Structure 1
Amino acid sequence: MPLDLAINLGASLIAFTVGWLARTLLTYLRNRRPVARLCRIERQAPVTVVVGTARDRRTIFEADAQAAMNIRLSLTRDLKIHSIATVRSSAFDMAGHADDNLVVIGGPAVSDVWKTYASRLDGPYVFKIVGDNYKIVARDGGATFGEARGASGEVEQDHALVIFAWNPFEPRSRLIMMAGCAYPATVAAPAVLSPDFARRLARRVDTSQPFALVLSVEDVNGYVPTPKIVAWEQFTQQTSD
């Protein structure tokens, strides 16, 4: 009887262990692996999220704050990165954090950090002032993407620029930049870090090389569906070893 009990317990333990390992592997393959391959974060370097700053240099824009929260959630849940600092662009210390894995939220209108890093990438898309507003402009061909407002004056369609590259000051660290032309696209841009989006993106883009995406975002009476990729391009990045 004791032998039969031991055999049953052993078999149950083996079945539990095999099931747990299978579920863990499936979770890794379905969720963590696509996000890890997209982000390619250097685990030995800190992760710092930089958000845009209003003109008073103290206020954080709501869209940037929400995007930062969603990014922290994604990195914590899918990559198990729990130590993530968030700083305002006006308080960013180049001497202390320039070599970090960086996630820069907010374009040149609200972030000098965006200006500093974008100027060293020579990416295929840039923010430029067109008329009275910033728009995303393709360097080659001049295609322009911006916000569109309805009769009520509310933004109904918006676009975001998302860049995955290497930190130009420390090529072993990652640089991720994302900003919308208006509120909806800034809030929606972190969706690229979701497992489903990362998995679909990996089928179209070589995530081991720098690339830039232009996302189209709808705002349907406050509901923002998953962004759509309307333009993308890989680019060569000059880094120092």
Structure 2
Amino acid sequence: MSLDLAINLAASFVAFLIGWLARNLLTYYRDSRPVARLWRIDRQTPVTAVVGSARERRMLWEADALAAMNVRLSLARELKIHSIGTVRSSAFSMAGHAEDNVVVIGGPAMNEVWKTYVSRLDVPYEFQIVGDRYRIVTRETGASFGELRGADVEVEQDHALVIFAWNPFEPRSRLIMMAGCGYLATLAAPAVFSPDSARRLGRRFDTAKPFALVLSVEDINGYMSKPKIVAWQQFAQQTGS
């Protein structure tokens, strides 16, 4: 009896172990692996998120702070990276963090670090002031994407620029940049790192090479739609040795 019991217990344990391994492998290949291939984080190097500062009082910009929180959740949940520094652009130290895996959140209007890094990339899109607002402009054709808001507008629309590149100051480190023309798209931009979105992007792009996306998002009476890619381009980057 004792031998039979031991055999049954051993068989049950082996079955449990196989099931546990199968579930974890499925989760890894379904969720974590696509996200990891999109982030391409150098795990030996710190991750620093840089958010915008409101100029007049050097305060944290709310949309950037919420986007940073979603970025932190993605890294912790899917990649088990929990040590992520978040600093305001006004307090960012190039001497201390320039070579980190850097995530820049917020465009040139509120984040000076955006200007520092994007000036060293040949990104096919850029933020320009058109009229009295920032728009994302295609450098080659002049096509632009912006924000649609107003008291008489039932559906608000906004666009974000998301850049995937290598850190120009340390080519082994990752550089991710994301910003909306307004708060709506800034909040929505981190959705590109969801497992579903990461799988789609992995099938569509060579994520080892730099590329830029223009995302469109709508607010329909309080409902925020999933971001849609309305323009994209891959671009070359000199990463050094």
Q: Name the TM-score class by shorter chain.
A: over 0.9
Cα offset, 1:58, TM superposition: 2.7
What SS does the aligned partner of 2:202 have? helix
Query: Following superposition of structure 1 onto structure 2, how do residues 230-241 of structure 1 map, counting pairs within 5 Å?
Result: 230-241=230-241
Q: Which amino acid aligns with 2:65?
A: A
Gaps of 5+ in 1: none
> 1:76 — aligned with what?
76
> 1:22 — aligned with what?
22
In 1, Cα distance between equivalents of 2:224 and 2:64? 16
> 1:35 — aligned with what?
35
> 2:170 — aligned with what?
170
Cα offset, 1:219, TM superposition: 0.7
Query: Following superposition of structure 1 onto structure 2, how do residues 63-102 of structure 1 map, counting pairs within 5 Å?
Result: 63-102=63-102
Cα offset, 1:151, TM superposition: 4.2
8 Å CA contact 2:154–2:220 kept in 1: the answer is: no
> 2:136 — aligned with what?
136
> 1:61 — aligned with what?
61
8 Å CA contact 2:159–2:216 kept in 1: the answer is: yes
> 2:111 — aligned with what?
111
Q: Which amino acid aligns with 1:123?
A: V
In 1, Cα distance between equivalents of 2:71 and 2:43? 16
Percent identity, please: 75
Q: With structure 2 as the length reference, what TM-score do the two structures score? A: 0.98
In 1, Cα distance between equivalents of 2:31 and 2:156? 31
8 Å CA contact 1:159–1:215 kept in 2: the answer is: yes
Q: Which amino acid aligns with 2:171?
A: P
> 1:184 — aligned with what?
184
Gaps of 5+ in 2: none
Query: Following superposition of structure 1 onto structure 2, how do residues 178-217 of structure 1 map, counting pairs within 5 Å?
Result: 178-217=178-217
Cα offset, 1:222, TM superposition: 2.0
In 2, Cα distance between equivalents of 1:154 and 1:55? 31
Query: Following superposition of structure 1 onto structure 2, how do residues 41-52 of structure 1 map, counting pairs within 5 Å?
Result: 41-52=41-52
CA distance 1:155–1:128, shift in 2 (3 Å): farther
8 Å CA contact 1:147–1:155 kept in 2: the answer is: no
**Segments of 4+ in structure 1 off by > 4 A?**
none
In 1, Cα distance between equivalents of 2:82 and 2:57? 27
Length, aligned pairs only: 241
Q: With structure 1 as the length reference, what TM-score do the two structures score? A: 0.98
In 2, Cα distance between equivalents of 1:153 and 1:231? 24
What SS does the aligned partner of 2:140 have? coil
After superposition, the C-alpha distances for 1:28-62 in whole angstroms (9 at most, x for unaligned) are 00110000000000000000000000013531111
Q: CA RMSD in A?
A: 1.1
What SS does the aligned partner of 1:87 have? strand
In 1, Cα distance between equivalents of 2:21 and 2:78? 17
Q: Which amino acid aligns with 2:55?
A: R
8 Å CA contact 1:38–1:198 kept in 2: the answer is: yes
CA distance 1:156–1:44, shift in 2 (3 Å): same
Q: Which amino acid aligns with 1:160?
A: A
After superposition, the C-alpha distances for 1:38-89 in whole angstroms (9 at most, x for unaligned) are 0000000000000000013531111101100000000000000010000000
> 1:8 — aligned with what?
8
8 Å CA contact 1:47–1:100 kept in 2: the answer is: yes
In 1, Cα distance between equivalents of 2:107 and 2:27? 34
After superposition, the C-alpha distances for 1:189-226 in whole angstroms (9 at most, x for unaligned) are 00001000010111111111000000000011222111
Q: Which amino acid aligns with 1:240?
A: G
In 1, Cα distance between equivalents of 2:184 and 2:191? 12
> 1:161 — aligned with what?
161
What SS does the aligned partner of 2:59 have? coil
